[in-house]
Structure formats: C-alpha cells, structure tokens
Amino acid sequence: MSRQEILQRLVTVIADSSSAPIAAADVTEATSLMSFGVDSLILIDLIFDIEQEFGVKLAAEELTAMRAMGDLVGHLEKRVTT
Amino acid sequence: MSRPEASSLAAADARAKIPEAAAGGRNAHRPPGWAKRTLIRHVVPEVALALLRSLRLSWRVRETGRAHYDRAVGSGRAPVIAFLHGRAFMLLNTIEGRDRRCWFSMCSTSLDGDAMARLEQRLGFDVVRGSSGRGGLQAIVDIIRAVRDKPGAGACLAVDGSRGPRGKVQGGVISLAQRTGGLVLPVTVSASRRWIFRRAWDRTMLAKPFSRVEVVFGEILEVPARLKAPEFDRLCHELEERLVALQGQADLLSGNGDTEPVRAA
C-alpha cells in the first residue's frame, strides 16, 4: 500500500472519529494530528478505527508520541507491508 | 467528563514513567523500601481479603433492581458495571464470582494500586492496570481489547477513579461501553451500620459486621458505538445523575444518614 493511499484512508478514518470538519484536500503528511481537535477519547476511537481499517494494533503511547500525519503514515506503512 | 487534550495526556503518561524521586518537587521522596513494598503488595491484600470475606459472611445482603442486572448479563452483550470508587470494596466483594463470569477491573499503577490489584485478583477479577492519571488511555484500550477477546466477559469500573473528584464520572466508562457491549449498568451499595473513611477523597465505606447491606442496580444505560462529543458528554452526565440518585436510594433503604454530598463540591 502506498503512502498516499494510507494517507487518504487515514483522513477518512479521522474524519469519522473527529468532531471537527476536515477538508481532505488540505491534509498532507506535514499536517499536525492535533489540528483535528483530537482529545484522549477520540484517540481511543482512532486506535480502534485504525485497527479495523488497517489491521494494525496501535498502543496508545505510540499514537500520542506522533506529531504529524507523516509519522502515522510511516508507522502504518511499516506495519501494513510487513 | 474529563476530555484532556491528547498532548497533555501524552505528557501525563510520560511523567508516569519518571520515578518520583527523580521527578523532584515537593512530593519527591525515596521510593518505598523492600519491606514496605512487600507489606503493601503481599501482606495487606491477604489481610484485607480475609477481613472482607469474614465481613461478607456476616452481612445480610439485599438486592434491589436485580432485574436490571439479569437483563444486562442475559443480553449476550458484554456488560460494564459502573459504580463510585468509595463503594468499590463492598461492591467487588458482592460481585465476586457472580455467574461464573469473567469480570475485568482496573487498578492504578501506584503502590496502593498494587495492593488493590492483588486483592481484586484474589477476589477472582482479571485486573488491567492504569488510571485516569497514569497510563489511563492505554488501560482503557487494554480493557476494551481484553473484554472483546474473551466471550462472555464483562467489566467493572469505578467511574470517578482513580483520584476523583468524588462522584464525577470520567469518560473512560462510556468509551469502554462504546467499544464492547454498548451497555452500562449503574450500581451502588449502602449499609445499615458502616465505617466511613472520611479523610479519603472517595469517603470509602465499609459495612460493619452483621449489617444489612443494600445493593441497588439501576436501569441499563445504552451506549451507541458512534458518538459525537455533545452526546458523549450527555451520557456521562446521565450516568452521573443516575449514580447519585441510586446512592440516595441505597442510603434511604439502609438508613444511612450520612449528609455529605455524593459529589465533591
């Protein structure tokens, strides 16, 4: 799965979890995860939505350590393809 | 109803890994020695277990709203039993081994939490470690995965733990229900004669020997899998109101005249 494809699927997942409206076209790998208004409870949604979408079990600590979408894309790229 | 920003939560989790002595500040002190740790982790739970079991033998336990409990466990979905921290000792003691079901509970990662975790394990619970203050996000994720992975399991959660404010529902219980069986069963307990640990933040209650113990189950709170923030907060508030009302009912049934509000001011 390409990085671009992962990014697009992630944007869909985050848009479902987050209450903030998201303009998919404006989201790049440099976009901050915090810009989506993600709080601790939305993070729980994200962890399980990512697990369902990509089959990757994330630890809360891994997700909270990520700052930009690119960090998450890179992490998933490694875990999805291996 | 705590919805901390993710960045602050990450910081809280990071702080949890720093030994208190290294973190400095007013609370900095040497970690407890081997003897104290052994006492708290191994001796205190066994003494508490013996005490609780002895007390339970002498209690006359009466249940109100039992139909709500039966409906929750008979639904084929994973129930989440929600109660206030201050009544945990008495409730866990009456839930122990109920219906031969696997019940998951949560205890903080502190030294006191070690003792509580050990006690709950000896009472037959499967314990996940973490709290709203330390490693809480991961603990909620872990307990969700544990309940989902074990068919027929349920969860028991003190909703205002691990450090209060007393009577204020934290959001973890709703997140847990969202991702498991979608139902929360509020429950509380009171006693005709009791000790109240007034200096504890949660005003822990323990029924005295030969007391009449009133366990009161409330109506099931249905929790949809997908919730937007306002609906999430509304459910937290609804659960809090139900628990406060149930507490009043249990106190009335038992004749408990404690005038201290259930919710901390």
pLDDT per residue as tens digits for the range A19-75: 677 888 889 999 988 888 778 778 898 999 999 999 999 998 888 889 899 999 999
Contact B140 A39 (CB under 8 A): no
Contact call for A34 and B5, based on CB within 8 A: yes
| pLDDT for B100 | 65
Q: Which of B137, B226, B228 sits opposite A40 (nearest CB)?
A: B137
Contact A34 B7 (CB under 8 A): yes
Residue B135: the pLDDT is 72
CATH H superfamily, domain A3-81? ACP-like (1.10.1200.10)
Residue contact B6–A44, C-beta within 8 A: no
Q: CB under 8 Å to A15, separation ≥6 — which residues?
A: A22, A24
Task: Flag residues of chain B having pLDDT under 70.
Answer: 1-30, 96-97, 99-100, 132-134
Q: Does A61 touch chain B (CB under 8 A)?
A: yes
What residues have CB less than 8 Å from B59, skipping those under 6 apart? B191, B207, B209, B210, B211, B212, B213
* Burial bucket for residue B61 (CB in 10 Å: 0-12, 13-18, 19+): middle
pLDDT for the residue numbered B17: 37
CA triplet B64, B93, B134: central angle to 5 degrees? 110
B3:A41 CB<8 A = yes
The answer to whether ipTM exceeds 0.90 is no
pLDDT at B14: 39
B168: Cα separation from own chain's centroid: 12
Contact between chains at B179 and A60 (C-beta distance less than 8 A):
no
> Is the separation of the CB atoms in B135 and B110 below 8 Å?
no
Chain A nearest CA to B5, separation (Å): 4
Taking the CA of residue A36 and the nearest CA in chain B, the distance in Å comes to 11
User: Which residue do the tokens 């009577």 mark?
Assistant: B167
* Domain limits, chain A: 3-81
Distance CA B72, CA B49 (A): 28
For residue A19, which residues of chain B lie inside 8 Å, CB to CB?
A: 228-229
Closest residue in A to B232 (Cα–Cα): A41
User: Which residue from A56, A61, A63 is spatially nearest to A79, judged by alpha carbons?
Assistant: A56
Contacts of B144 in chain A (CB under 8 A): 44, 48
Which among B5, B138, B144 has CB closest to A39? B5
Inter-chain touch B138–A59, beta carbons under 8 Å: yes
Residues 6+ apart with CB under 8 A from B195: B205, B206, B208
pTM: 0.84
pLDDT at B133: 62
Taking the C-alpha atoms of residue B144 and residue B178, their distance in angstroms, rounded to an integer, is 9
Token pair 């976009």 is found at: A31
- CATH homologous superfamily of B34-254 equals Glycerol-3-phosphate (1)-acyltransferase (3.40.1130.10)
Rounded to a whole number, what is the distance in angstroms from the first to the last CA of chain B?
15
Which of A16, A59, A64 lies nearest to residue B10, judging by beta carbons?
A: A64
* The predicted structure's pLDDT at residue B237: 96
CA nearest to A15 within chain B: B228
Q: How far is A41 from chain B (nearest CA, A)?
A: 6
Asked if A33's CB is within 8 angstroms of B141's CB, the reply is no
Q: Which residues in chain B touch residue A14, judged by CB atoms under 8 angstroms apart?
A: none
Q: How far B142 CA sits from the closest chain A CA (Å)?
A: 9
In chain B, which residues have their Cβ closer than 8 Å to the Cβ of A39?
A: 3-6, 9
